[in-house]
Amino acid sequence: MRVDAFRRSMRDGKVVWRRLVCNKEGFRKLRPRRSENRKPRAITREGCKAMIVVKKEKTGKWVVTRFVKEHNHQLVATPANSRRTVLLSQTPDEKDIKIRELTAELQRERKRCAAFQEQLDMVLRDMEEHSNHLSRNIDGIVQSVREIESKKIVHSQSK
């Protein structure tokens, strides 16, 4: 199924009506070929009329307003994307193995992340300690300069 059309409320912009149709509804538009080298794609649209139309009532409930059940083709479950195809093609044992592998990889990455975080914390602590050490040194130098200046002032006044 796919959403063929929908309408939104003028008040709040929320969807209030939808028409869901069979994936094989309609026909592909005929377009001129771009290149003679390309293979034509498989026919996916077969003019199927199966659909369901729903609308949202003021109460917030969705109500079926039209339903066409009959398909003009065999019903075959086709995966929507390639990831799902890969998962469906694997046996349960293969899936379990893949899950274990991915779980182990995730655990390794979490440990690496924790180690990096620990190293970063150590570097930040060292920087903080070094900054405090420099501040103490600067305070000591400033204090020494003040003492020297005050001694010079006292010495120059005594002359």
What are the domain boundaries of the chain? 2-78
Question: In percent, how much of the chain has pLDDT > 90?
Answer: 48
* pLDDT value at 69 more than 60: yes
* pLDDT value at 81 more than 60: no
In the structure encoding, which two tokens stand for residue 40, read together?
Answer: 């034509």
- pLDDT value, residue 142: 96
Nearest to residue 21, comparing CAs of 81, 86, 69? 69
Q: What is the pLDDT of residues 86-143, one digit of tens each?
A: 666 667 788 889 999 999 999 999 999 999 999 999 999 999 999 999 999 999 999 9
Predicted model pTM: 0.43
What is the rounded distance in angstroms from the CA atom of residue 102 to the CA atom of residue 109?
Answer: 10
Residues with Cβ within 8 Å of 54's Cβ and at least 6 positions away in sequence, in order, are 17, 18, 20, 62, 63, 64, 65
